Structure 1
Amino acid sequence: MAGQPGAAAAPLERVVAAMAARQKDVGGRLHADLTRQVPSYRAVPRELLEQIWHRHFQRALAVVREGTVPAPEDFDEADVARDRVARGVPLGDGLRAFRRALSAIRDLFLAEAADRGLDPDLVVDRTTCLWELVDVASLRIAAVHREAEVASALSDARRRADFLRGLLHGTLSAAEIHSGAAIYGLDPARPYRAVRAVPNGDVGPDALERSLEYHGRRNGRRLLLAVLDGSVAGVVEEKPDLTGLEVTAGLGPPTELTAVHRSFRAAGRLLEAARAYGLRGGYDLGDLSWRVAVVAEPELSELLLDRYLRPLEAEGQFGALIEESVRGYLEGGRHIREVARSAHVHVNTVRYRLRRFEELTGTSLDAPDTAVELSWALAARELETPPRRPAGPAR
Structure 2
Amino acid sequence: MGEPRNPRRSFVKFTGRKTKHAQRSNPVDVIDVEEEDTIRRLCREVSDELEALTERAVQQIRSELPAYSAVPVAEQGNYIRKQLSAMLCAVAENETITTEDTDRNRELGRRRAMQGLPLSDVIETYHIASRELWDTMVQRSTKPTHELLQAGGKLWDLVHAATSAVAVGHSEATRSEQAIRAGVRYRFFETLHSATDMELSNARELAQTLGFDTQKSFQALSAVEDEWSEAQVEHLQRTLDSVHVVAHCSRHGSRVIVMCQGEPTEVIHAIMRDHPRTSLGIGMPRVGLVGAAQSITDAERTLQLATAPGTTVSFADEWLIATLATHQDELLPLLQAGASVAEEHSHLMDAVRAFARSGFSVSAAARDIHLHANSVTYRLDRWQHLTGWDARTLDGLMKSMVSLELFHRKTLAKI
TM-score (norm 2): 0.48
Paired residues in the alignment total: 236
Q: How does 1:200-349 map to 2 (within 5 A)?
A: 204=229, 206-207=231-232, 210-211=235-236, 214=239, 216-238=240-262, 240-241=264-265, 242-243=268-269, 244-245=272-273, 246=276, 247-253=278-284, 254-257=286-289, 260-271=292-303, 273-275=304-306, 277-278=307-308, 280-308=310-338, 310=340, 319-349=345-375
Query: Within the alignment, does 1:163 sit opposite 2:188 as a pair?
Result: yes
What secondary structure, in the 3-state scheme, does the structure 2 residue paired with 1:210 have? helix
What secondary structure, in the 3-state scheme, does the structure 2 residue paired with 1:371 have? helix
Q: How does 1:352-391 map to 2 (within 5 A)?
A: 352-387=378-413
CA contact (8 A) 2:348 2:380 kept: yes
1:286 shift after superposition = 1.1
- Cα deviation, 1:225-278, whole Å, max 9, x if unaligned, reads 22233322242113522234323233333120255333323322222x233x33
User: Structure 1 residues 163 and 211 mapped into 2: Cα distance closer, same or farther (>3 Å)?
Assistant: closer
1:373 shift after superposition = 0.6
Aligned AA for 1:371?
Answer: L
Q: Could you tell me the percent identity over the aligned residues?
A: 20
C-alpha separation in 2, matches of 1:206 and 1:279: 21
Q: Which residue of 1 aligns with 2:217?
A: 191
Structure 2 residue runs of 5 or longer lacking an equivalent are: 1-171
Q: How does 1:49-64 map to 2 (within 5 A)?
A: none
TM-score (norm 1): 0.50
C-alpha separation in 2, matches of 1:160 and 1:203: 16
What secondary structure, in the 3-state scheme, does the structure 2 residue paired with 1:385 have? helix
Which of 1 and 2 has greater Rg? 1
User: Structure 1 residues 280 and 304 mapped into 2: Cα distance closer, same or farther (>3 Å)?
Assistant: farther
CA contact (8 A) 1:199 1:248 kept: yes
- Cα deviation, 1:159-193, whole Å, max 9, x if unaligned, reads 43223322443365465334323322122222212
1:300 shift after superposition = 4.7
C-alpha separation in 2, matches of 1:361 and 1:274: 23
1:341 shift after superposition = 3.2
1:330 shift after superposition = 1.6
User: Structure 1 residues 274 and 204 mapped into 2: Cα distance closer, same or farther (>3 Å)?
Assistant: farther
Supply the RMSD in Å over aligned alpha carbons. 3.5
C-alpha separation in 1, matches of 2:332 and 2:289: 38
CA contact (8 A) 1:240 1:282 kept: no
Q: Which residue of 2 aligns with 1:180?
A: 206
Aligned AA for 1:256?
Answer: G
1:148 shift after superposition = 8.8
